[in-house]
Amino acid sequence: MRQTPRTYQTAADRWAGIGPYYAMFPVWFADAVVREFTASGDVDLDPFAGRGTSIFSASVQGRVEVGIELNPVGWVYARTKLNPASREAVEDRIYELGTRTERYRHADDELLEFFKLCFAPSVRRFLLAAREHLDWRRNKTDRTTMALLLVHLHGKRTDSLSNQMRQTKSMSPDYAIRWWQQRRMSPPSIDPVSFLMRKLDWRYARGVPETARNHVYLEDSVTRLPQLVARARSGEAPRASLLFTSPPYFHLTNYHYDQWLRLWLLGGSPSAARVGGRHRGKFEGRVAYRALLARVFGAAAHMMKRNGVVYVRTDRRAFTYRTTVEVLGGTFPHKELLRRARPVQGPTQTQLFGNGISYLGEVDLILLP
C-alpha cells in the first residue's frame, strides 16, 4: 500500500481528517484496505471505531458501514463527517451561541485556574454556552458545531482557541499551568465567532461528502454487538464482508486522560484524573484485556460472512501482540493468518506512550478465508 497525497480538492478530503485523535488510521491506509478487500455495497464492521476513519473511508467508497465507539469525542467526529449539517445551519448556531455568552460571566468566574490560563474570557464564555446548549447527541446541527469546536479547542495558538497546547492529547492541568506561568504566556485574545467562521470557509469550500448508508453507535461493543448479531441472524441486517479495526492496546494510554478537556466540553468533569469503569481506563488487567478482545471479536465473528476478511492493526509489544494473535486465531480458526509489519513512520500510540523502542511500530493481522 502506498500513501496517496491528499490534495483537499474534494469534500471527502476536507472532511476525512476531522478530529485529532490518537491511534487513528491514516486516511490513505483505510482507503487502500477498503478497496483491496471489499466491493461496492459490501458491509464493513468496526467495533472500535475511534474517530471513524475506517467508517468514513468505506462509506465514501459506496460500502455500508457499521461502527461502534465508546468515547463520545470519537463518536462526535465520526457522525459529523459522515453526515454534516449544512453550512448555513452551523453558521446560524454559532451566531446564536455568540449572543448567549454574556450570560456566563458568573459561571466563568467559577472556572478552575487552568481554564483561565488556557482560554481568553470571550472564549471561556462561548464554550460554556456551547457546553450547555448544544444537543450533540440528537441534533445534527449541534453535533456538527460541537465537532468543529472540539477540533479547534486546543492546539497551536495560531490555529486553535487555546493557549499553546498539543492538539491530539489534552495536557495535564498542573503541567500546563506551570508551563504557561514559567513562560508568562497568556491565552490569545480571540473572537470565537469570527474564528469559527474562518474555519467554516475552509471546511465547506468543497461542500459535504457523499456517503453510503452507515450506522455509528455511541456504545460499548460488548453490549451492542450481540444486538446486531441477533438482527443479522434474523435476516433483518446483512452480514459483514470485512471486519476492519484497531482495538485499544494493553496498558498504554487512558482515553479519558487523553481527551479530558474535550470530554469536559461535552458535559464531563473539569478534571483530568484517570477514571476507571469497564473499558474506560488504561486496560491494565491482563485477564480483563483478553476477555474484552475475546468477547468483541467473538460477537463480531457471528456478524461476518463465511468468506469475510478480518483486518486488525495492533501493537507489536509482546503482550498486546501475542494476546491479539491468540484471540483472533481462536475466534477464526479456519482462516489463514497473514502478518504485515508496520514500522514507526510517525506518531503512534506505541511510540508516544510505549516502552521507547521506536523501531517496533505496529503490525497488521489479516485473516483470509
Q: Kindly report, residue by residue over 202-254, the tens digit of the pLDDT.
A: 999 999 999 998 899 999 999 999 999 999 999 998 999 999 999 988 876 66
Q: What is the mean pLDDT of residues 1-24?
A: 79
> Using 50, 70 and 90 to split pLDDT, how confident is the model at 23?
low
Nearest CA to 337 among 319, 303, 315, 312? 312
Percent of the chain's residues with pLDDT above 70: 88
> Using 50, 70 and 90 to split pLDDT, how confident is the model at 348?
very low
The pLDDT assigned to 256 comes to 76
Contacts of 49 (CB under 8 A, 6+ apart): 55, 67, 68, 69, 74, 75, 78, 216, 245
The pLDDT assigned to 250 comes to 82
Q: What is the mean pLDDT of residues 61-82?
A: 95
Q: What is the mean pLDDT of residues 84-93?
A: 98
The per-residue pLDDT of the chain, averaged, comes to: 89
Question: Is 357's pLDDT higher than 60?
Answer: no
Question: Is 135's pLDDT higher than 70?
Answer: yes
Q: What is the mean pLDDT of residues 323-335?
A: 97
Question: Is 26's pLDDT higher than 90?
Answer: no
Question: Is 145's pLDDT higher than 80?
Answer: yes
The pLDDT assigned to 115 comes to 97
The pLDDT assigned to 349 comes to 41
The pLDDT assigned to 5 comes to 64
Determine the Cα–Cα distance for residues 51 and 108; give it in Å rounded to an integer: 30
If you search the block for the grid coordinates 474570557, which residue do you land on? 121
Residues 80 and 143 sit within 8 Å (Cβ to Cβ): yes
The pLDDT assigned to 1 comes to 60
Question: Is 282's pLDDT higher than 90?
Answer: no
Percent of the chain's residues with pLDDT above 90: 75
> Using 50, 70 and 90 to split pLDDT, how confident is the model at 329?
very high
Residue range 11-82+214-368 in CATH 3.40.50.150: yes
The pLDDT assigned to 7 comes to 79
Residue scoring higher pLDDT (6 or 312)? 312
| Phi, psi (rounded to 5 degrees) for 137 | -75, -35
Q: How many residues does the chain have?
A: 369
C-alpha cell, 341: 509489519
> Using 50, 70 and 90 to split pLDDT, how confident is the model at 283?
low
C-alpha cell, 325: 494473535
Residues 47 and 296 sit within 8 Å (Cβ to Cβ): yes
Residue type, 364: D
Residue scoring higher pLDDT (159 or 276)? 159
Q: What is the mean pLDDT of residues 181-185?
A: 96
Contacts of 178 (CB under 8 A, 6+ apart): none
Residue ranges of the chain that CATH labels 3.40.50.150: 11-82+214-368
The pLDDT assigned to 353 comes to 40
The pLDDT assigned to 4 comes to 65
Among 1-10, 71-80, 275-284, which is the least confidently predicted range?
275-284
The pLDDT assigned to 345 comes to 53
Residue 67's H or E segment, with its range, is strand 64-69
The pLDDT assigned to 249 comes to 85
If you search the block for the grid coordinates 487555546, which residue do you land on? 162
Determine the Cα–Cα distance for residues 207 and 176; give it in Å rounded to an integer: 37
Question: Is 128's pLDDT higher than 90?
Answer: yes
Task: Provide the terminal-to-terminal Cα distance of the chain, rounded to the nearest Å.
Answer: 21
DSSP secondary structure, 15-35, as one string: HHT-S--TTPPPHHHHHHHHH
The pLDDT assigned to 166 comes to 87
Quick one: CA dihedral 168, 170, 172, 176, positive or negative? positive
C-alpha cell, 3: 500513501
Determine the Cα–Cα distance for residues 49 and 245; give it in Å rounded to an integer: 7
